[in-house]
Structure 1
Amino acid sequence: MFDFIGDLWIRFTGTLFEQALQPTLYALGLMDWADDAFQWMDFFLFGLFSVGVVYAVCRPLEAWRPVERWADRRDVGTDIIYTLLARLGILPLLAFILLASVDAWVIGTIADSGWVPPSLENLWPALRESPLLAFAVYVVVLDFGEYWRHRFQHRIGWWWALHSLHHAQTQMTFWTDDRNHILDDCLGALWFGGLALLIGVPPGQFPLVALVLRLAESLSHANVRLSFGSVGERLVVSPRFHRLHHGVLSAGESGRNYAVLLPIWDWIFGTADFRRDQFPLTGDPDASPVLVHGGWFAQQIEGGRRLWGVLRRG
């Protein structure tokens, strides 16, 4: 199945490149940039596809049973800008410029040394015979990693200075998932990508694993009065479960419900909370007005200022 999906995507992007982008590059005398242009097109199209999937799932739910209604939705509009920049532009740009050379150096060094990094398929050979089981295991392991990254964002002072931008939103919707400081996004990309490389997630499955977790995160932020019930909510993170995390009582180090997809991590490590108000108001009482109502650029500057303040105080 995964090979079929991968082949279908390769044929689609290859045809689009040959029929549309390549002739344009040739006409402009830019064929030396053909490989880079193809990679950029691939980044952009997959980002556009992931945004479309999230919108198709989450927007009807928010229209169906919203927790809150706002006459002025400018703060939500700012979150939409965050999503478009993160998924279609600015984060892939930074990853390409800052991380491509590092990635090439690491891979080259490992190859020259002859060392083969351990992977889950090496430790558990049965995964090679069952792609669906392997996919499920990759999702579980990466979800476990995301749980701990999220806890560290709240526990480490300088990291909370960045992550507090995410918690400042008082009009939380599925767009809020990408409301992050750009440095926080880069740290998250390194964390997620590094763990995926460590456990040996195949390149063909990595985008699908990322899409599953992204959809789960976006749904958990949705402005929808939705619970999965006393049993279901203990199996999969629901909008109600995660809204408790964004409630005004959960800001900073006192946070609960850190899980992205599977609440079992909160159960195991004692951070699950099913007792508070079902759908509390969201936001951080200590957030500055800029973090709540400012535009993208102003919030990035404010987040950097808060980070510098923590670092300067030691």
Structure 2
Amino acid sequence: MIDGAHAWLVGLLGNNVDWKQVLLVGMTPLFLLAFVVEYAGARRRGQQDCFRWKEIIANVALGSAYQLAEALAWLLATGAIFSWVYQHRLFDIPVNGWTVLPIFVMVEFCYYWFHRSSHRVRWWWAAHVPHHSGETMNFTTAARQSVLNVLVGTFVFYVPPVLLGVPPAVVMFMLAVDLVYQYFVHTDAIGKLPAWYEAWFDTPSNHRVHHGRNPRYIDKNYGGVLIIFDRLFGTYAAEVEKVEYGITEQIRSTNFLILNVHELVDMLRDVAAPGPVWQRLQHLWKPPGWRRPGHQPIHTWTVERIDASAPAGAQDAPRVL
């Protein structure tokens, strides 16, 4: 039965099956069930503030489009790229009980640098920002992804394991396991877990920090399953104050198209604005908050600049840009 299913998938998707998409699509019923349970529990406790239905609908729409875009990109381009790299691999790494864990840690290490780069390089932030523009936290926030991931080349972060000799299908499967786990850390319903677990793994508490626009939380906790690389590279922060979700220049829209492209459009308009060519080009690789001398950042759609450092109720009205 397993061999038959594998043969069918290979016939449909090619020799290098994108097990990431296969597993994520297969897990969708469980994801939906978990959300229903999360919502029912919050409703029973009278804690429904983290469920805004317009945002939830936007989350599901973004996630569905992302899944479709990733599958098409694999069929049209990325699958062939990974296959070509694997043909030129440096070693033959076997996949067995001894190597599965090291391979997973290797993929998690790649994920850490993908995630960190997606916050610190505006080119990749343009595709990652939809995930952070939501102002609530529930399981559907995990689905809040962008179709632009396939255009900005985020797949390059997972090329190294393939070049070393890990089969592409294994790399994609390990990444899928990483992403499935992450679905369940996008919640306000679970408090802190035992200290030993918080020290080694990403948890709802650790990941709430990652989604905070509080100054002490910005650009922290990039880990997917493990939090050890954050501790090793100095990007870890514990949850010590209430998390203010969202981004500091908050986009005011639930429109599917705007959520996907607003940062990309603004970045390209910043590059096209008058000024020295070298300075203009730096908008592509500098951090999202970088300001070019003499240039006022462009905002095509309405955003609000929010000071998350002010006590709740004490800050001035957010500045509309």
Same fold (TM over 0.5): yes
CA deviation string 1:86-134 (max 9, x = no partner): 23x22211232233554565566x3xxxxx5135x3xxxxxx4x82331
Q: How far apart are 1:53 and its partner, in Å? A: 4.0
Decide whether aligned partners of structure 1 residues 206 and 149 sit closer, same or farther in structure 2, where only a CA change above 3 A counts.
closer
Contact 2:108 2:225 in 1 (8 A): yes
Contact 2:118 2:125 in 1 (8 A): yes
Aligned equivalents of 1:205, 1:104: Cα separation in 2 = 12
CA deviation string 1:172-206 (max 9, x = no partner): 22222232332235556513541331243345644
The amino acid that maps onto 2:66 is A
5+ residue gaps, structure 2 = 273-279, 282-321
Aligned equivalents of 2:18, 2:116: Cα separation in 1 = 32
Identical aligned pairs, as a percentage? Answer: 19
TM-score between the two structures when normalised by the length of structure 2: 0.70
2:62 paired with 1:85:
no
Match of 2:37 among 52, 60, 65: 60
Aligned equivalents of 1:207, 1:86: Cα separation in 2 = 16
CA deviation string 1:233-258 (max 9, x = no partner): 01111011110111121599x41111
2:243 paired with 1:263:
no
Contact 1:226 1:238 in 2 (8 A): no
The amino acid that maps onto 2:221 is N
2:60 paired with 1:97:
no
- Secondary structure of the structure 2 residue equivalent to 1:201: coil
Aligned equivalents of 2:42, 2:17: Cα separation in 1 = 36
Contact 2:17 2:169 in 1 (8 A): no
Matches within 5 A, 1:29-40: 35-36=11-12
Matches within 5 A, 1:62-211: 63-64=40-41, 68-70=48-50, 72-87=52-67, 89-103=68-82, 106=85, 110=88, 116-118=89-91, 121=93, 128=94, 131-187=96-152, 189-202=154-167, 205-211=170-176
Partner of 1:245: 210
2:244 paired with 1:284:
no
Match of 1:302 among 262, 277, 293: 262
Partner of 2:237: 273
The amino acid that maps onto 1:48 is V
- Secondary structure of the structure 1 residue equivalent to 2:184: helix
The amino acid that maps onto 1:144 is F
Aligned equivalents of 2:31, 2:98: Cα separation in 1 = 24
Q: How far apart are 1:42 and its partner, in Å? A: 8.2
Partner of 1:124: none
The amino acid that maps onto 2:72 is L
Decide whether aligned partners of structure 1 residues 156 and 198 sit closer, same or farther in structure 2, where only a CA change above 3 A counts.
same
Aligned equivalents of 2:11, 2:128: Cα separation in 1 = 35
Q: CA RMSD in A?
A: 3.4
The amino acid that maps onto 1:274 is A
CA deviation string 1:137-164 (max 9, x = no partner): 1111111111111111111233333322
- Secondary structure of the structure 2 residue equivalent to 1:221: coil
The amino acid that maps onto 1:309 is R
The amino acid that maps onto 2:246 is G
TM-score between the two structures when normalised by the length of structure 1: 0.72
- Secondary structure of the structure 2 residue equivalent to 1:228: coil
Q: Which has the higher helix share?
A: 1
How many equivalent pairs are there? 270
2:164 paired with 1:215:
no
Decide whether aligned partners of structure 1 residues 207 and 256 sit closer, same or farther in structure 2, where only a CA change above 3 A counts.
closer
5+ residue gaps, structure 1 = 1-6, 18-33, 111-115, 122-127
- Secondary structure of the structure 2 residue equivalent to 1:69: coil
